[in-house]
Each structure stands twice: as C-alpha cells, then as structure tokens.
Amino acid sequence: MSSIKESKNILKWSDTVELVDNLRVDEVGLKERVASLASRSIKKDSKLQALNYIISMCDLTTLEGEDTEGKIGQMTAKAIRPDPSNDEVPSVAAVCVYPALVSKAKEMTRNSNVKVASVSSYFPSGQAPLESKILDTQFAIDQGADEIDIVINRKAFFEGDYRKMYDEIVALKEVCKSVHLKTILEVGELRTYENIKKASLISLAAGSDFIKTSTGKISNGSSREACYLMAKAVWDYKTVTGFKAGIKVAGGIRDSKDAIRYLVIVNEELGSEWLNPDYFRFGASSLVDDVLKQIKKLKTNAYQSSYYFPRG
Amino acid sequence: MNEIKKTYKNYVGGKYVRSESGKTFRIDLKNDFYEVPLTSRKDIRDAVVAAKKGYSNWQKLSPYNKTQVLYRLSEMLEGNFETYQQLLQDAGLTKAKASEDIHKAVDTIIWYAGMADKWEQMTGNLNPVAGDFFNISHQESLGVVFTLNSNNQSLNSLLLNMLPALTVGCAVISFNEENSVIALKLAEDINNSDLPGGALNIMSGKFELLIEDVSNHVEITAMAIYKEINNHDKKIIKENASKSLKRIFINPPTMGLEALFPFIETKTVWHPKGR
C-alpha cells in the first residue's frame, strides 16, 4: 500500500469515516439556495464568455453499443473544431468513449489539445468483480486514455459496505496512477441528498480527481441540487486535505441556459478558480449543439438551426 | 347571472399558453371586444421549438392518416357551428353570411383533407432520361412555416391560410392580428382533431413587433404572407430571409394544387433500372 501514501489526495479510511459520520443535509435550504442561484440573469458579453467556457469544458460523449470507429472519427473532428465557421469557438476539453474505441479517438486527437477519456470498471452498472474492473481500466489506459471515468460500486454502497466501495476506488486509482480519475456517483440512483454527499466524500477520500454526477444512462441524470452538494463536498474535502478536486456534471443537460446555471453554482460555491476545464466539466452530447447555436445567435442576432452545425 | 367572458390563449405545442410577457391586446369586434395574448419574441422562439417537434411527429403520420386527421377537424368544426356563427356575427357578419362562411370553411378542410394523400402523386414525376435509370422527382415538405394570416373576419380565409402548408406535412406557426379571436377559437377544435401537438400553432399579436425575429430565425424555412404589408416591411423580411435562404411568399394562391407549391421542394433521385 506504499503507493497510496505517496498519493497525497487519498485519505485514510479511519479519517474518511470521521468525515462522513453523522452527515446531514438541510433539504429546504438546499433547494432554496439552488433556486435562487438559478434566477441569476447572464446576458450579452458575460453570456458569450460563459458559452465559450461551456464549450471548453465539454466532454463530448458517445457511449452506445452502436458506436463505430467512423462515428468516433466524426465526433472527434467536431470536438477539435466545434464550429468550423467561427474560429473563436474553442475546442472541447475531451471526448469520452468506451475502452474499445480509445485508440481510434487517440489517433484522431493526436495533433490537438483534446483529451481522450474512457469509461471503465464495467460502466454503467459496475456490477463486476474488482479484478475485471482493474483489467477494464488497465486496457483503457494501455490504449492511451488520458482520463478514466469509473462508476462507484452502488451495490456495496446500498448494502452499507462503504469500505468496499472505498477500497475499489483506491485499487482503481492505483491502476490509473497519474491518469486523471473521475468517479461517477449516479446521483439519480442514490435517492437522498445525504447519500449524494456521502458518496461524494468517500469517492474523494479514495483518491478521485473528479466526481461526476451520472452515467447518462438513466432518465434522472444530473441535477443542480446534486451539483451543489458535490461542490460542497469538494470544498469540505479541500478544507480537510488541501486537495482541489473537480466536478463533472453529466446526464440530461441539453441547453445552454441550464448549463450556465451550473456554472453559476460552481462560481458561487467554489469560486472562479474552478471555472476551467481542469476543475469543471460537462458530459454532453447534445449540449454542444445548443451552445453553438446560442454563440452564433449572439453574433448574428438570428436564431439558429442545428442543421447548420457539424454532426457528431 | 353574469356572463363569464372567455379568455383566449395562444395554442403552442398542443397546449394553451399565455404570452410569457403576460401582455395582451384588445380586439374590438363590432358587437363585442376581447383581450388576446400579445405574442412576445420569446413566445415565437418557443413556438419554433414546438413546431420543430410537431413537424417530425406530423411527418410520422402516413398521408392517409393525415387525411383522416384533417377530416376530423371538419367534423369538430361543424359540431361547433353555433359558436362560430355567434363569433362571426359579433365581428359584424350577418347571420346568413356567417353561416355561409362556416359551410365554406368545412368544404375547404375537406378539400385539403382529400389532397393530403394525393398531392405527392400529382406533383411527383418519373422523368424521361437517356440511360438505364429511373429518374424520379419527388416532392418533400419544407419544415417549419410561418404564416401571417389575412385580417378578414372569416373562418374560411383563416383555414385557406393555414391548410396549404399543413397539408403537405409542414408544421405551421399561424400568426393572427385582427382575426385572432376566431383563430384562437379554432385552436380548440384543432386540439380535438388528433393533430400532433406542435404541428399547427395558433398565435395572436402584432406582427410589426416580431418582424425581425421571425424573418431572421434560421429554423423557420418559409414565410407565407396572406395579408397586405407595406414595402418597408417587405424589404426587411426579404433582406433578413436572404441570410438563411428562407423562402418568402407574398399573397400566394390559397386554392388548387398551386396553393401547395410554395411549401414543397423537389428531390430528384436516380436509380439504376437493371436489365
């Protein structure tokens, strides 16, 4: 376990227990705060800046059984140059694919800043033995993945075996080494706000660089409340350990307005230093299209059709 | 007993909605007045989103099914004969004229209902070409169409303005000014006729407030203007529309096959014949 001690962002289990013990969330206060943040009005120049931020923070994602190398090629081209008619629009942060398609994505992005993220650990259910998850993750890394998105062991979590959930993340972190590790909580399945915060803290304590809301595979994906709680967890964790973790929101964020509200939450709860792709990401497939439409609207004053933007 | 006065609302995406601005404007009919929604720029944007969705759902119906839906609209409308008669009388028509107008409106719907599964045969063609190919010209609907309806206090002319685009499978945002009351009343029958939500949206307001937004909106593929507008407005519309290659039709025909032409475009397909 020597490598764990070296990794400064891992908290010992005994300290982790202390962190999540007796955790309570004020539901009414939480909802009010999130609703009031959602009412901020972001217009004109600030809106344009926010929209460009969103593009640069996107993990353009395709996680389907029907994915082919051709589809990855198309999506990666879009990731590098989201709007070919406007070179002020930045590249997205990363493309996110299944392990089998990492090498193709890597080949396509070799001359760009776009990173390749791979889901692993038997995404989206995580119902597999740890040995298999390690193999899955190791394969993705060998293929060249820069970032790894794993799912927490919800089975262990709901059975109350938090230690097992923690140990699995620690084991996968060991496989990842310096590769960026994002841990998916699947907040839609966690049911209560306490569970979301608890899972966030355990995932952070086990060495996650990022915590992520959802797999995008269930109908209730991300929510602003979950993002708020995760921001709180990140802050708490930073207070205890000094480690600055990131947040990725994914699942059901389809329009710019909604995405901007997430930026507001992060800015208010964590500060503007979190407003960059190293600390905040959107997992998205259709969001990019809407943001591109809005950016063009601000430039031309005409509402746009996604027909005129690249597919991918 | 006091009369309960009806508040008419816009009909967008299969739902009755007030203007998000909360604003209304007053329509003075000869014998009565109404407050109807003053559609805002945001309402139009929302309507385009709804129409886009409605377009794909309306497209999913077979032509035969479209015919049935439109025919049902005529049944619904006839069932409310007396309400329409009263509204038209309030607007200044005589009882006989009102009744004649409604009968004509029913005939109009039935004519268009009949066309819904026939126009494709009538406009498409197998072209003669020198080679072992079938060369087929096939017509497709344009997409989301904005219609600015005439100000006539007439149910029939209202239907003549919205049905051509709808019949060929377009989603229609039907915009009304002086005839808004009768148009918004019609929305209730449209809602009862199994038309997919968003395929036909009925809105009331002042076009002059929305001229820039509508003519600039890239997602609106065509605008049909069925009322007189001044040259200044025409110029604005045409200039803005040119940026997104939007089709503009000013006073297009309203009956006959040629009424459908503005809302369709030709796709030509080459297919090997084999031997």
B274 min Cα distance to partner chain A (Å): 31
- Under an 8 A CB cutoff, do B45 and A303 touch? yes
Nearest to A3, CA basis, from A129, A177, A164 = A177
Catalytic one of A173, A197, A248, A296: A248
Look at A303 and B244 and tell me if their CB atoms are within 8 Å. Answer: no
Q: Which residues contact A36 (CB under 8 A, 6 or more apart)?
A: none
Summarize pLDDT for B162-213 with one digit per residue, the tens: 999 999 999 999 999 999 999 999 999 999 999 999 999 999 999 999 999 9
Q: pLDDT for B36-45, tens place per residue? A: 999 999 999 9
Kindly state the average pLDDT of the residues B55-71.
97
Q: Which of A47, A78, A106, A212 is catalytic?
A: A212
- C-beta atoms of B218 and A301 within 8 A: no
CATH of the domain at A273: 3.20.20.70
- Give A306→chain B minimum CA distance, Å: 8
> Chain B partners of A301 at a C-beta cutoff of 8 Å?
212, 216
pLDDT of amino acid A8: 63
Contact state of A302 with B219 under an 8 Å Cβ cutoff: no
Average pLDDT, integer, range B9-32: 93
Q: Which amino acid is at B52?
A: K
User: Closest residue of B to A301, CA-based?
Assistant: B216
For B42, which residue in chain A has the nearest alpha carbon? A303
Assigned token pair, A119: 């889901």
Query: What pLDDT is recorded for position A22?
Result: 86
CA neighbor of B202 nearest in space, from B220, B224, B179 = B179
- The neighbour count for residue B228, using CB atoms within 10 Å, is 10
- Tens digits of residue pLDDT in B233-259: 999 999 999 998 999 999 999 999 999
Express each pLDDT in B254-264 by its tens digit.
999 999 999 99
Q: What is the mean pLDDT of chain A?
A: 93
The answer to whether the CB of B142 falls within 8 A of the CB of B263 is yes
Catalytic residue list contains A44: no
Report pLDDT digits (tens) over B213-229: 999 999 999 999 999 99
Place of tokens 């719907």: B109
Q: Which residue range is the domain that position A261 belongs to?
A: 2-301
Closest CA to B83 of B184, B213, B175: B184
Among chain A residues, CA nearest to B219: A305
Is residue B7's pLDDT more than 90?
no
CB neighbour list of residue A33: distance below 8 Å, 6 or more residues apart? A228
Question: How many CB atoms are closer than 10 A to CB B54?
Answer: 26
Confidence check: pLDDT of B29 > 90:
no
Q: Does domain B10-272 have CATH number 3.40.50.300?
A: no
Q: How near does any CA of chain B get to the CA of A307, in Å?
A: 9
φ, ψ at B251 (rounded to 5°): 45, 60
Q: Do B218 and A308 touch (CB under 8 A)?
A: yes
| Tens digits of residue pLDDT in A26-61 | 999 999 999 999 998 898 899 999 999 999 999 999
> Which residues in A lie closer than 8 A to residue B213 (C-beta atoms)?
303
- Which among A59, A83, A146, A149 is annotated as catalytic? A149
Q: Is the residue at A70 inside a domain?
A: yes
Give the mutation candidate from B219, B237, B246 for the A interface (greatest A CB count, under 10 A). Answer: B219
Query: Chain A residue closest to B49 (CA)?
Result: A305
β-partners of residue B135 are: B127, B270
Q: Which of A305, A306, A307, A309 to mutate to test the interface with B (most CBs of B within 10 A)?
A: A305
Whether B218 sits inside 8 A of A304 (CB atoms) is yes
Q: Which residues in chain A have their CB less than 8 angstroms from residue B212's CB?
A: 301
> In this structure, is residue A264 part of a structural domain?
yes
**A1 pLDDT more than 60:** no
State mean pLDDT over A212-222. Answer: 93
Residue B1 has pLDDT above 80, yes or no: no
pLDDT in tens, A222-266: 999 999 999 999 999 999 999 999 999 999 999 999 999 999 999
Given this model, what pLDDT does residue A7 score? Answer: 56
Whole-Å CA distances, B40 to A203, A257, B115, B211, B240: 47, 19, 34, 11, 19
> What pTM did the predictor assign?
0.86
Per-residue model confidence (pLDDT) at position B32: 84
Is A149 a known active-site residue?
A: yes
Q: Mean of the pLDDT values across residues A70-92?
A: 95
Which positions in chain B touch A303 (Cβ < 8 Å)? Answer: 45, 48, 213, 216-219
User: Catalytic residue at A146?
Assistant: no
Q: Rounded to whole angstroms, how far apart are CA atoms B46 and A137?
A: 44
**Domain map of chain B by residue range?**
10-272
Note whether A303 contacts B213, CB cutoff 8 Å.
yes
> CA-nearest residue of chain B to A304?
B218
Cβ contact B240–A302 (<8 Å): yes
* Residue B17 to chain A, least CA–CA distance (Å): 21
Q: How many CB atoms lie within 10 A of CB A232?
A: 18
Which pLDDT score, from 0 to 100, does residue A126 have? 94
Does the pLDDT of residue B120 top 50, yes or no?
yes
pLDDT at A164 over 80: yes
Predicted ipTM? Answer: 0.76
Domain count, chain A: 1
